[in-house]
């Protein structure tokens, strides 16, 4: 089995994995980071979005071995020193989540949106979320949360 | 009002763990020594299983066992039951074919369960499942519900593939009234089949403890006690006391996680058989194939009016597709949850509904968000809108002319229900204002000037929620009671543990129920902890569906709080040497009336657990349970208005505005209620604009992934204008009605009425896809 080394939430990890192991399975099973969720098998739902070298990636579209040497951040790595990241706090304040299953992917995707685009209009936010499906919220409060989270991240 | 009390938009307690990746969903859990289950599913819609050769699979690396229906049969495992007996119009009970968790001799839909492979890893089980050789003898498939009665037979004991032919209402009176009506509007409608698609796929882990001879099942369930009851009493034949069901964090349900499915049944059975914990995690493809689907009705509706536009009669004829087998509550959805709602918000004096429910070679169909009520609302609100257009009356005005007036409650409909309370015109007027109805003609002209088609559509819906009085549902054939349980346990140091039979899978009970208990008992909200989802710790409860959690489960908690206060008064009276009758309770403090003597509820709780100075005739402890059985359904209602714009060159629809005014009675947490409405509208718009479950003529599922089944995404939807009116429910202690399904019930009709308004034709079926819309718009342009 190939060996893979990467940095996950600031910690370097090395594991032997089957070549076909997806990054999602590696995070969930090998590292027990179960905040990254699997909601589909066609890379549509976005529940598994993590950051690889700072960019949002669907962890189900990537093999673990492809993340060799990469810096990976999962939802567990977003809050710092027990303080919610501004985007997490905005999701709570604006009721941007219900069942919580799509939430890690939504938040990770939203953080990348702000990092990439800075300010974004409602239309741009809705377009950006094309790869994240939520069945509970109707997106109304997710959009509000991202607008507020973006503002908080800039300040 | 305290800022955490009833009526406050308290931010959710559960969010911290969900936002930090610390939620614990079933697939996040692992048990020592577990094996992984992968199901071998039928690739054919209808076939006899001549043989199953497991030899190669059983010999594959890591495989522990390969089990089939024959093994289950040998162990005496029963059929998955249908829990609601519908009596047909000839007095016969519905046809109830066997539904074995693993098939014994025949497969009846693509995705049906043929065998299970258990292996050390999921990937080994998946590899080995490919090696199971099944000899299928193909049979012709019966897919189209409109032809199902003449098609190939699915079950020997269901002639003509008919489950039941059922009716409600006075057909002779309806025919007579229609024959005398000044105008009769007729509409043919299809309520398209949907696939629920909670974003967390179903999953289960079962384990068997040989020391105690007992099972534990972790499952993605909306109702763990109900699942336990079905598994124990009907399928596996094990004592209820020997099975603990835990539904941990559950990622959405929408009805699809009510039922007892084959997968968790097989895991539980196989855990004992193999002596290893058995874990199954469904893939999305499996959700598409084998989660219970929703809707799938074909209906002709006729609405008769007098010369003044008053409704005089309505006649509804529906064929409902139940799929290949009966899911647990399949029979009641197109009958008691559908036909009983056909009066809508109107005073229509006579109504008749006939429903033929048929079997087809498709996945089982059961309750999906709204369950019967979206279908009823779609029928009523489409025909009312069409009628308004035919007789040239404003559709809002026609509705108002026929609304049940506010002074008519309780109002007995001709279809068996008695509405509790409502102010329908109030909600309608507020919605008209929100959408700026008066400004619509100008907006339509502006769209026209841009080459766009603009439409507006209404949906004045009603639903029966807070399901339900046990005596009523029992008399209609339900096999269970529909009360709810609540337990409020003061701990000796003053914190409160709340145990509820309701289950939260997104609804925010940990917050709403905490608000309720905190407000009632006067303890800080952070000192209240809500426990749900574990039959090992909660009292027997019926779970969450039918917008019942607050109306029924919340009422049970309210009653339990009353008992706490009642007992607390006795303790307080003893401690303060006063008569119980003189003790008053307010905001967490017991006082002797007219004096300055008082004791905080925390002191009373401590005294109850350290009863050194305590009433002689009183039991120690401060822990009360209540079972609440409602006296009636609740009847939330409201008006949704959709305004949209169509590009005739692309067929793309853009929702320009959406106004929703709902009456849910008293609201405990407005933020959560608005969120429920948003999500409901999105699901309703999904049905009307995007989603469609399609099987081909051979019964192959063509929409088996998110590549083919179009889920609503953020860029398909607008922000919504959501407001409420408040007409309290008169028969539950909280005055609440329920909000979870309203959006999904109201939205499809509002959307389609706007589409048909814009296109100038009633002849378009859901979903109004760009292709369909484009063809109609192009044909209209060509005809001009």
For A47-75, write each residue's pLDDT tens digit: 999 999 999 999 999 999 999 999 999 99
**Ranges of each domain in chain A:** 3-77, 86-154
Among B568, B599, B628, the domain boundary falls at: B628
Residue B513 sits in the same domain as residue B573: yes
Nearest residue to B731 via CA among B472, B497, B498, B480: B472
Chain A residue with minimum CA distance to B17: A100
Hey, are the CB atoms on B200 and A79 less than 8 Å from each other? no
In this structure, are strands B598-600 and B589-592 parallel, antiparallel, or unpaired? antiparallel
End-to-end CA distance of chain B: 61
Superfamily in which the A86-154 domain is placed by CATH: [2Fe-2S]-binding domain (1.10.150.120)
Same domain, B316 and B285: no
Picking from A122, A141, A143, the nearest residue to B675 by CB comes out as A141
B624 and B638 belong to one structural domain: no
The H or E element spanning position B350 is: none
In a domain, B461, yes or no: yes
Domain membership flag for residue B580? yes
Shared domain check, B718 and B608: no
A34 and B25 within 8 Å at the Cβ level: the answer is yes
Q: Residue B341 has what pLDDT?
A: 97
- In terms of domains, do B503 and B555 share one? yes
Q: Is the pLDDT of residue B2 over 60?
A: no
Q: What is the mean pLDDT of residues B727-743?
A: 95
Q: Tell me how crowded residue B450 is: count the other CB atoms within 10 A of its CB.
A: 9
For residue B765, the model assigns a pLDDT of 97
Question: Touching check for A90 and chain B: CB below 8 Å?
Answer: no
Tens-place pLDDT, residues B501-521: 999 999 999 999 999 999 999
Residues B463 and B533 in one domain: no
* Claim to verify: residue B389 and residue B492 sit in the same structural domain: no
Q: Which domain holds residue B211?
A: 31-139+200-251+257-290
Architecture of the domain whose range is A3-77 = Roll (3.10)
**Is pLDDT above 60 for B389?**
yes
Which residue in the set A103, A125, A129 is minimally distant from B19, CB to CB? Answer: A103
**Chain-chain contact of A93 with B681 (C-beta, under 8 angstroms):** no
Q: Which of B599, B628, B657 is the last residue of a domain?
A: B628
Ordered DSSP codes for B13-32: TTHHHHHTT---BGGG---T
Within 35-74 of A, beta carbons closer than 8 Å to B belong to 35-42, 44-45, 47, 74
State which residue of chain B sits closest to A21, comparing Cα positions.
B123
Residues B493 and B451 in one domain: no
Rounded to whole angstroms, the Cα distance separating A23 from A48 reads 9
The answer on B692 and B664 residing in a single domain is yes
A102 touches chain B (CB under 8 A): yes
Is residue B66 predicted with pLDDT exceeding 60?
A: yes
Q: B297: pLDDT confidence band, cut at 50, 70 and 90?
A: very high
Using CB atoms, which residue from B15, B22, B713 is nearest to A35? Answer: B22
Q: Which of the listed residues B594, B628, B662 is the one where a domain comes to its end?
A: B628
Mean pLDDT value across residues B343-361:
98
Q: How confident is the model at residue B629 (pLDDT cuts 50, 70, 90)?
A: very high
Whether pLDDT at A106 is above 90:
yes
Contact (CB<8Å) A129/B715: yes
Pair B539, B499: CB distance under 8 Å: yes
Flag whether pLDDT at B784 surpasses 90. no
> Which residues on B lie below 8 Å from A40 (Cβ)?
284, 705-706
Mean pLDDT in chain A?
97
> In a mutagenesis test of the A interface, which of B714, B717, B741 is the best target, namely the one with the most A β-carbons within 10 Å?
B714
Residue A79 contacts B, CB cutoff 8 Å: yes
How many CB pairs below 8 A link A and B? 179
At residue A155 the predicted structure's pLDDT band, cuts being 50, 70 and 90, is confident
Residue B547 has pLDDT above 90, yes or no: no
Residue B190 confidence (pLDDT) above 70: yes
Please give the average per-residue pLDDT across B154-173, as a whole number: 98
Averaged pLDDT score across all residues of chain B: 97
Q: CA angle, corner B436, sides to B432 and B440, nearest 5? A: 105
Asked if residue B207 lies in contact with residue B241, where contact means CB atoms within 8 angstroms, the answer is no
Q: Does the distance separating the beta carbons of A34 and B27 come in below 8 Å?
A: yes
pLDDT tens for each residue of B236-290: 999 999 999 999 999 999 999 999 999 999 999 999 999 999 999 999 999 999 9
Looking at the fold, whether B519 and B549 belong to one and the same domain comes out as yes
Please indicate whether, in this complex, the C-beta atoms of A92 and B508 are within 8 angstroms of each other: no
Q: Does the pLDDT of residue B1 top 50, yes or no?
A: no
Q: Is residue B468 scored above 90 in pLDDT?
A: no
Give the number of residues written for chain A: 155
Distance from CA of B723 to the nearest CA of A (A): 14
State pTM to two decimals.
Answer: 0.97
List pLDDT tens digits, range B90-129: 999 999 999 999 999 999 999 999 999 999 999 999 999 9
- pLDDT given for residue B457 in this prediction: 98
Burial B355-376 (b: 16+ CB within 10 A, else e): bbbbbbbbbbbbbbbbbbbbbb
B649, B713: one domain: yes
The complex scores an ipTM of: 0.98
Please identify which residue in the block is written with the tokens 């002779």: B172
Domain tally, chain B = 3
Tokens 């269970």, located at residue: B480
- Number of neighbours of residue B50 by Cβ within 10 angstroms: 10
Asked if A100 lies within 8 A of B251 by C-beta distance, the reply is yes
Count of beta carbons in the 10 Å neighbourhood of residue B242: 15
Task: Flag whether pLDDT at B229 surpasses 50.
Answer: yes
Does B489 share its domain with B522?
Answer: yes
Residue B228: per-residue pLDDT: 97
């Amino acid at each position: 089995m190939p060996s893979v080394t990467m940095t996950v939430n600031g910690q370097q990890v090395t594991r032997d994995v089957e070549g076909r192991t997806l990054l999602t399975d590696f995070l969930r099973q090998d590292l027990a980071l179960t905040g990254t969720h699997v909601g589909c098998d066609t890379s549509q739902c976005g529940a598994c979005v993590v950051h690889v070298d700072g960019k949002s990636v669907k962890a189900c579209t990537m093999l673990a071995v492809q993340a060799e040497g990469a810096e990976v951040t999962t939802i567990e790595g977003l809050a710092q020193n027990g303080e919610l990241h501004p985007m997490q706090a905005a999701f709570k304040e604006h009721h941007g989540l219900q069942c919580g299953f799509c939430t890690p992917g939504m938040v990770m995707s939203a953080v990348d949106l702000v990092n990439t685009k800075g300010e974004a209009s409602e239309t741009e936010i809705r377009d950006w979320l094309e790869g994240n499906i939520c069945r509970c919220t109707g997106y109304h409060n997710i959009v509000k949360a991202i607008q507020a989270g973006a503002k908080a991240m800039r300040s | 009002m305290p800022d955490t009390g009833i009526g406050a938009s308290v931010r959710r307690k559960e969010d911290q763990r969900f936002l930090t990746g610390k939620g614990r969903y079933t697939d996040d859990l692992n048990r020592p020594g577990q094996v992984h289950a992968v199901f071998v599913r039928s690739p054919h819609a209808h076939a006899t299983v001549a043989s199953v050769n497991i030899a190669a699979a059983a010999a594959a690396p890591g495989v522990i066992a390969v089990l089939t229906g024959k093994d289950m049969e040998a162990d005496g495992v029963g059929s998955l039951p249908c829990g609601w007996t519908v009596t047909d119009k000839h007095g016969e009970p519905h046809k109830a074919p066997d539904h074995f968790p693993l098939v014994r001799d025949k497969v009846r839909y693509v995705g049906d369960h043929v065998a299970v492979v258990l292996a050390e890893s999921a990937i080994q089980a998946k590899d080995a499942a490919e090696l199971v050789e099944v000899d299928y003898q193909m049979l012709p498939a019966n897919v189209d519900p409109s032809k199902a009665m003449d098609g190939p037979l699915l079950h020997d004991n269901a002639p003509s593939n008919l489950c039941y032919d059922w009716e409600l209402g006075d057909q002779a009176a309806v025919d007579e009234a229609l024959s005398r009506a000044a105008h009769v509007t007729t509409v043919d409608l299809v309520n398209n089949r949907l696939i629920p698609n909670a974003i967390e796929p179903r999953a289960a882990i079962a384990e068997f403890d040989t020391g105690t001879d007992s099972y534990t099942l972790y499952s993605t369930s909306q109702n763990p006690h109900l699942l336990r009851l079905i598994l124990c009493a009907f399928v596996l034949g094990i004592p209820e006391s020997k099975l603990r069901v835990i539904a941990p964090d559950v990622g959405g349900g929408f009805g699809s996680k009510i039922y007892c499915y084959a997968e968790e049944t097989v895991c539980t059975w196989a855990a004992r058989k193999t002596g290893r914990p058995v874990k199954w995690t469904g893939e999305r493809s499996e959700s598409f194939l084998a989660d219970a689907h929703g809707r799938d009705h074909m209906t002709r509706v006729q609405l008769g009016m007098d010369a003044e536009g008053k409704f005089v009669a309505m006649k509804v004829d529906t064929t409902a597709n139940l799929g290949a087998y009966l899911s647990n509550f399949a029979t009641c959805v197109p009958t008691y949850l559908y036909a009983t709602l056909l009066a809508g918000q109107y005073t229509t004096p006579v109504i008749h509904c006939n429903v033929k429910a048929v079997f087809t070679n498709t996945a089982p169909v059961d309750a999906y968000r709204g369950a019967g009520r979206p279908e009823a609302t779609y029928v009523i609100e489409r025909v009312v809108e069409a009628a308004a257009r035919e007789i040239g009356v404003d559709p809002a005005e026609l509705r108002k002319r026929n609304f049940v007036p506010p002074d008519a409650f309780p109002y007995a409909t001709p279809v068996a229900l008695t509405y509790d309370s409502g102010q329908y015109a109030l909600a309608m007027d507020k919605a008209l204002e929100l959408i700026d109805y008066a400004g619509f003609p100008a907006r339509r002209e502006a769209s026209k000037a841009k080459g766009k088609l603009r439409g507006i559509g209404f949906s004045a819906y009603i639903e029966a929620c807070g399901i339900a009085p046990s005596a009523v549902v029992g008399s209609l054939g339900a096999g269970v009671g529909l009360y709810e349980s609540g337990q409020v346990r003061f701990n000796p140091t003053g914190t409160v543990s709340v145990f509820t039979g309701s289950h939260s899978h997104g609804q925010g009970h940990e917050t709403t129920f905490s608000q309720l208990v905190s407000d009632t008992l006067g303890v800080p909200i952070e000192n209240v902890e809500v426990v749900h989802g574990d039959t090992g710790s909660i009292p027997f409860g019926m779970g969450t569906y039918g917008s019942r959690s607050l109306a029924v489960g919340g009422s049970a908690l309210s009653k339990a709080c009353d008992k706490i206060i009642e007992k607390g008064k006795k303790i307080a009276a003893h401690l303060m040497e006063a008569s119980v009758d003189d003790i008053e309770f307010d905001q967490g403090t017991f006082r002797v009336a007219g004096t300055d003597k008082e004791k905080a509820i925390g002191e009373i709780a401590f005294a109850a657990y350290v009863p050194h100075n305590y009433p002689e005739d009183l039991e120690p402890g401060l822990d009360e349970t209540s079972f609440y059985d409602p006296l009636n359904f609740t009847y939330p209602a409201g008006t949704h208005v959709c305004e949209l714009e169509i590009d005739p060159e692309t067929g793309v629809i853009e929702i320009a505005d959406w106004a929703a005014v709902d009456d849910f009675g008293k609201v405990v947490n407005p933020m959560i209620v608005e969120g429920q409405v948003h999500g409901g509208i999105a699901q309703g718009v999904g049905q009307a604009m995007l989603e469609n479950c399609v099987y081909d003529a051979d019964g192959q599922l063509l929409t088996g992934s998110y590549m083919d089944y179009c889920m609503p995404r953020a860029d398909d939807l607008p922000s919504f204008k959501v407001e409420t009116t408040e007409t309290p429910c008169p028969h539950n202690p909280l005055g609440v009605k329920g909000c979870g399904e309203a959006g999904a019930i109201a939205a499809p009709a509002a959307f389609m009425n706007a589409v048909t308004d814009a296109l100038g034709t009633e002849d378009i079926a859901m979903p109004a896809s760009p292709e369909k819309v484009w063809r109609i718009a192009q044909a209209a342009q060509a005809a001009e």
